[in-house]
């Protein structure tokens, strides 16, 4: 039993280290060790729960406490990973979402400016063309941005190297499918639509090498401000 538990913890730790930026693996080695132990313990309790009567809730508080500790560690590691991988990302505009298995369901959706120029964030739409059409009016060369979600103030400016939270990403809901994110950004006095498609599970499912960092691409829809 002890040997099988040790092996399980080792396998989880090896998997987590593979997911982490090398700097994070060193700086947060103690957190990775704790996360691996808690992950294994929670898995064992989840398995044990299948052999208990439905009305036996004596140990639910214990499992909840362990699961909460695992979740907090996952959030900490996910945030640290995103920070370091963003440092390594080339110049550009990005959407970025932290993730590690068993992290909190709601994660920040970051807009990141890694260009050399300031960028104004004017609005967003998260559900593809239909939602985009309902939030924008385009015609005769004009682009009118209607009120957007309340996470950010109107005309929020990002200086080079800055980032802001423009919404939340639900790992369980948004992560169940690919989502198209359409933003209105202004550079050099020109407002333009920028688009990024985030694959399932914030991209970590099929595009793990992206580490939750998704480039924004400009479209041909825009207008002078």
Give the pLDDT confidence of 42-74 residue by residue, as tens digits.
988 776 655 555 656 666 788 889 999 999 999
* Tokens of residue 67, six digits: 């699961």
Q: In the prediction, which pLDDT does 117 show?
A: 95
Q: CA-CA distance, 146 to 211, in Å (whole number)?
A: 32
pLDDT tens digits for range 187-222:
888 889 999 999 989 889 888 889 999 999 998 765
- String of DSSP letters for 143-207: EEEPP--TTS-TTEEE-TT-EEEEEEEETTTGGGS-EEEEEEEEETTEEEEEEEEE-TGGGTTT-
pLDDT at 141 over 50: no
Q: Work out the average pLDDT over 143-156.
A: 48
Q: φ and ψ at 23, to 5 degrees?
A: -65, -35
Please report the pLDDT score of residue 211 as a whole number. Answer: 95
Q: Residues 29-43: what's their mean pLDDT? A: 95
DSSP structure class, residue 208: G
Please state the domain extents for the chain. 2-88, 93-224
Predicted TM-score (pTM) of this structure = 0.81
Q: Sort strands 213-215 and 190-198 into parallel, antiparallel or unpaired.
A: unpaired
pLDDT of 104 > 80? The answer is yes
């Amino acid at each position: 039993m002890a040997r099988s538990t040790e092996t399980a913890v080792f396998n989880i730790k090896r998997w987590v280290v593979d997911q982490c930026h090398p700097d994070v693996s060193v700086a947060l080695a103690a957190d990775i060790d704790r996360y691996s132990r808690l992950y294994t313990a929670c898995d064992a309790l989840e398995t044990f729960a299948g052999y208990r009567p439905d009305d036996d809730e004596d140990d639910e508080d214990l499992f909840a406490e362990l699961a909460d500790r695992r979740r907090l560690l996952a959030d900490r590691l996910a945030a640290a990973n995103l920070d370091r991988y963003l440092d390594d990302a080339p110049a550009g505009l990005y959407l970025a979402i932290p993730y590690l298995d068993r992290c909190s369901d709601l994660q920040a959706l970051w807009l990141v400016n890694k260009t050399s120029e300031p960028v104004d964030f004017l609005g967003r739409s998260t559900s593809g063309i239909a939602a985009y059409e309902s939030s924008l009016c385009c015609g005769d060369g004009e682009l009118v941005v209607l009120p957007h979600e309340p996470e950010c103030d109107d005309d929020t400016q990002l200086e080079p190297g800055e980032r802001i939270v423009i919404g939340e990403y639900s790992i369980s809901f948004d992560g169940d499918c690919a989502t198209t994110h359409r933003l209105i950004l202004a550079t050099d006095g020109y407002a333009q639509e920028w688009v990024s498609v985030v694959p399932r599970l914030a991209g970590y499912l099929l595009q793990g090498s992206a580490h939750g960092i998704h480039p924004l691409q400009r479209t041909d829809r825009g207008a002078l401000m």
